[in-house]
Amino acid sequence: MPIDGFDARNKKKIHQKDEYMKRTKIKQALNASSPVDEIVIKGWVRTKRDNKGFSFLELNDGSCLMNIQAVIDHTPEIVAALERIGTGAAVAVSGELVASPGKGQQWEVRGKTLEVIGEADQETFPLQKKRHSDEFLRGIAHLRPRTNKYGAIFRIRSELAQAVHKFFADKDFFYIHTPIITGSDCEGAGEMFRVTSLGAGSQEPADNDFFGKPSALTVSGQLSIEMFSLSLGDCYSFGPTFRAENSNTPRHVAEFWMIEPEIAFADLADDMDLGEEMIKYLITHILDNCAEDVELFAKFVDKTLMPTLENIQKEPFKRLPYTEAIEILKKTKKEFEYPVEWGMDLQTEHERFLCEEQFKKPVFVYDYPKTIKPFYMRMNDDNKTVAAMDCLVPRIGELIGGSQREERMDVLTARMAEMNLSEEEYWWYLDSRRYGSAPHAGFGMGFERMLMLVTGVTNIRDVMPFPRTPKSLEF
RNA sequence: UCCCCAGUAGCUCAGUUGGCAGAGCGGGUGACUGUUAAUCACUAGGUCCGCGGUUCAAGUCCGUGCUGGGGAGCCA
């Protein structure tokens, strides 16, 4: 049977090859070095311009930002097809690729045949040949990737994800798939979405639920990745993360992707080195590999994008102990809504002042008071601060949050006791400190926030295919 | 969750002191032999977010709900 199945597939493939010419992606066609006698382009019509005797079609297939122009002479068949075609229709054009006599493009397709693959009713198709507001496009998230801007965002998003893996692979990190469903009730990074297989409104105890205990969607893979860092060495996880916080800001969503490296035999300085190197690498990679798409954002979305990115690329990041940050904030003439004093968490206005006005570049603030940080961060010798760090970036705010982890069993359990956490719940986490414990550190980077930084897009909902936010789950 | 702002044609928005619902773009029809968000002419298109109230009269004023945006908190 498996042999038959293989043969059947193989035959079908050959059959298809005989019958249809394979389509050429527009990106490839536009990069041609010489004319092509026979070419098939399949894509969506961006605009149709009719003249007496012939028409222009601009086609986009998503492979790149640019459209390809097809010129088609009118025949009765072509006119019949053209009448069914408007902005948004899916079509196939076959013909030859020739140097364009018109201005504005190097190549164009001189079309011989035109096939309507899918019509788009002009009365109801919502995308028009003009600029739409981001707010409007959020309401048609299923169609917005057909626009220039959103096509560019999602091509860059794909490339950025690949770059993350390449960065770590080149450094011999291992990619670990940490679980999405978790039983740790107290990962401590925010409100969690409950997972259950019991019926809606069920009063049954968690003992009767699928896992026999309460379960939820992960808010962080950190505790899991630590176990692998203390086994395979340098590791990272990169996957979806869920927060049930009722946050309504342009920087928060309920479902997002987080990159969480964890490095073994490493301290907080190593952790900051890694974060800085990674941010610089990702920016360089996108500038090198998505130049055309990035240019769109530099032109139309954020005029300061290129200088901002170049500045991040070449300037060493500022590293600032929390205590010094407080002194700077106290000394400055600028007035803040929230009064500044040692022991408080930095407010958005303080973070923005530090990276946008004081230093004008990314800033690592580190060694925060222990009272505002979770139990697993390593206690410093002053017994007042922990080895935590946040990387603050102009316009985005917190792009990275991380720490050196507390590897000393006695200090860790003392901290847990202080914070009323049960050792039993964390038995497996504590085992890593009980057996062969070693210094290690890591951080979480918001993938979408990185994407916002690279594109200049100011709302996180616009860099996600289908964003999940409070009261919004249409798509 | 709190504070502020907005909701009028498919889209972007104007609408004066409460007095007949408007523009540009898009759509449709026609013209044009190389266009570039083509151009030109003509044309259709409205639950003024929902509910309640004030008033002779409400898109406009008041109350309330919903949705969206900005800011804050939480954080990535």
What are the tens digits of pLDDT across the range A134-167? 999 999 999 999 999 999 999 999 999 999 999 9
Residues paired with A171 in a beta bridge: none
Residue spans in chain A of domains classed CATH 2.40.50.140? 11-118
Residue A199 confidence class, pLDDT cut points 50, 70, 90: confident
Nucleotides on strand B lying under 7 Å from protein C-beta: 1-2, 10-13, 25-28, 31-38, 66-76
Q: Is the pLDDT of residue A420 over 90?
A: no
The pLDDT of residue A189 is 62
Report which residue is nearest nucleotide B31 when distances run from CA to C1': A52
In this complex, the nucleotide whose C1' atom is nearest to the CA atom of residue A241 is B76
Distance A407 CA to B17 C1' (A): 74
The pLDDT of residue A135 is 93
Q: Are A29 and A97 in contact (CB under 8 A)?
A: yes
What are the tens digits of pLDDT across the range A261-270? 999 999 999 9
Q: Which amino acid would we find at residue A49?
A: R
In this complex, the nucleotide whose C1' atom is nearest to the CA atom of residue A398 is B76
Residue A185 confidence class, pLDDT cut points 50, 70, 90: low
The pLDDT of residue A9 is 41
Q: Which amino acid would we find at residue A224?
A: S
**Mean per-residue pLDDT, A345-355:** 94
Q: Is the pLDDT of residue A255 over 90?
A: yes
What are the tens digits of pLDDT across the range A293-314? 999 999 999 999 999 999 999 9
The pLDDT of residue A186 is 56
Among left, alpha and beta (phi > 0; psi -120 to 50; other), residue A151 is alpha
The pLDDT of residue A334 is 87
Residue A13 confidence class, pLDDT cut points 50, 70, 90: very low
Question: Which are the contacts of A170, defined by CB distance < 8 A and separation ≥ 6?
Answer: none
Question: Which residue would you say has higher pLDDT here, A283 or A4?
Answer: A283
What are the tens digits of pLDDT across the range A159-181? 999 999 999 999 999 999 999 99
Distance A257 CA to B2 C1' (A): 28
Q: What is the mean pLDDT of chain A?
A: 91
Helix (H, G, I), strand (E, B) or coil at A147: coil
In this complex, the nucleotide whose C1' atom is nearest to the CA atom of residue A134 is B69
Q: Are A431 and A388 in contact (CB under 8 A)?
A: no
Q: Which CATH superfamily groups domain A144-180+218-463? A: Bira Bifunctional Protein; Domain 2 (3.30.930.10)
The architecture (CATH level 2) of A11-118 comes to: Beta Barrel (2.40)
Residue spans in chain A of domains classed CATH 3.30.930.10? 144-180+218-463
From the number of C-beta atoms within 10 Å of its C-beta (0-12, 13-18, 19+), residue A283 rates as: buried
**Mean per-residue pLDDT, A77-98:** 92
The pLDDT of residue A11 is 42
